[in-house]
A and B are shown apart, each in its own frame.
Chain A
Amino acid sequence: MIQIERLYKKYGKVKALKGINLTFNLDQVVALVGPNASGKTTLIKCLLGMVIPDEGRILFDGKDIKGDVQYKKRIGYMPQIGRYPDNMLMGYLFGMMKDLGKIRLKDNFDEELIVAFHLEEMFGKPMRVLSGGTRQKVSAALAFMFNPDVIILDEPTAGLDPLASEILKQKIHKEREAGKLLIVTSHIMSEVEEIADSIAYIVEGEALFYKSIAEIKSESGEERLGKALFHLLQQ
């Protein structure tokens, strides 16, 4: 589905990506794991065409994404920090995004998360009065709204209350069952273990390894994923 080939990106002198190669397929939940500033977010931004790589290419369904916007119809994205125009009412934001979404699908938007998070009750509130967690809920609901094939979640549960993160995890499971590709970044290993089936470990702009969680566990002989990763990295 998505092939990333020898991607390089420099910010000034800092090399964020150094020739990373990865392939993602449908019916998969991939967790991008790695230390801070290892290039995870840059990689995601390259996928979304927000950052333009210096070298290398990304193929989406076999087509180079460079200069293309059509492929984004099939991607839902939840940013790490969702910020919206201060004075915009939440209901208006959803309405506007739906209008934008009409180029993707006619109607039957996926409003499950809006309902599950009880966001309708707050439709009359402007975005600036919302708490960080509520904004996260809005971002999550927007990412799933257009029923995309690929869903990219950047630290989805950071800042969400326990109930909301459980709802989100269940939603992720459900979409996985529906055969979609989900790409998730997270620092919480227990969470990764719960939702993902493979891990791409990224260090200094390169993929150190890319394995399924079962493989990682059996190779290291550890039961818990956090320990297993630690073992693997010690070698």
Chain B
Amino acid sequence: MAYGVLLSLSSFGLFLMNEDVTKGLSSLLTVLLIVVPLVSILFTTIYIFNSYEFIELLVAQPLKRSIILFGLYAGVGISLLAVFWIGIGLPAIIFDGTVVSWYFLLSGSLLTVVFVSLAFLASVVTRDKTRGIGISILLWFYFSLIFDGILLMVMFAFSDYPLEKLTILISCLNPIDLARIMVLLKMDISALMGYTGAVFNQFFGSSIGIIVSVLAMLTWVIIPIGIALRVFKEKNL
């Protein structure tokens, strides 16, 4: 609930403050890239740990563990997505309504499910709530800040070599980067695209670039939840 209010306040605020809708959208993008992953991963982790005993009860019922896990995933994912759509989606469509806002929503939704996936991974690898939340925050911190730092350092150190293809590969390793690129490819604000975005654009052109980034994001959904499922199946509750 609070998350929904925060999102809708920030989006209405940003749209009303900026006369230019594109500007509003790009400010909102910053919020999107920082707040959505953080809230998704933290909310999910806390939710899973708080319903630990209930999960135990469900495991004692004649239900497959995979069904329990996917049921939880669907529950958390759908509620977070709904909040995101109401909080950011509605304002974005009301104020902007162009194709850009739809991409905006697509990338935000993908970002939500990716970080829900990562949260599941973080919460099945440990039994300790504090440690689980710690892992979640670290993951978020890594993807939103540290990763870019490392990337820049690598770029700087190897600036004499042609690194374009490698950069594409590397940016696929960060879902937040992918989400940013996905929106910016449609928005045509190359100044904000950053190095990876520019390379993406150059290399793929915008439509194929978007397809590639969507696929990469989906991989980011599937792999963590897949690993989480394998761990969960063998887990002692």
**Which residues of A are in contact with B by a Cβ distance under 8 Å?**
11, 45, 48-52, 69-73, 75, 77, 79, 81-86, 97, 100, 103-104, 142
Contact = CB atoms under 8 A, between A and B. Distances in A.
Contacts of A70: 62
Nearest to A68: B62
15 contacts: A11-B236, A50-B236, A50-B237, A52-B234, A69-B63, A73-B62, A79-B60, A81-B53, A82-B53, A82-B57, A83-B52, A85-B54, A100-B61, A103-B62, A142-B57
Contacts of B62: 69-73, 103-104
B56 interface: yes
A77 B236 contact: no
Looking at chain A's contact residues, is the secondary structure mostly helix, strand, loop, or mixed? Answer: loop
Interface in B20-55: 50-54
Contact of A52 (B56, B57, B236): B236
A11 B61 CA distance: 24
Interface residues of B, number: 16
B59 interface: yes
Interface of B: 50-54, 56-57, 59-64, 234, 236-237
Contacts of A81: 53
A54 B53 CA distance: 23
A16 B152 CA distance: 50
Contacts of A75: 60
A70 B62 CA distance: 6
Contacts of A100: 61, 63
Contacts of A104: 62
Contacts of B234: 52
A75 B60 CA distance: 8
A107 B117 CA distance: 37
Given A82-B57, A84-B57, 20 more contacts: A45-B237, A48-B59, A48-B60, A49-B60, A50-B60, A50-B236, A50-B237, A51-B236, A72-B63, A73-B62, A75-B60, A77-B57, A79-B56, A83-B53, A85-B51, A86-B50, A100-B61, A103-B62, A104-B62, A142-B57
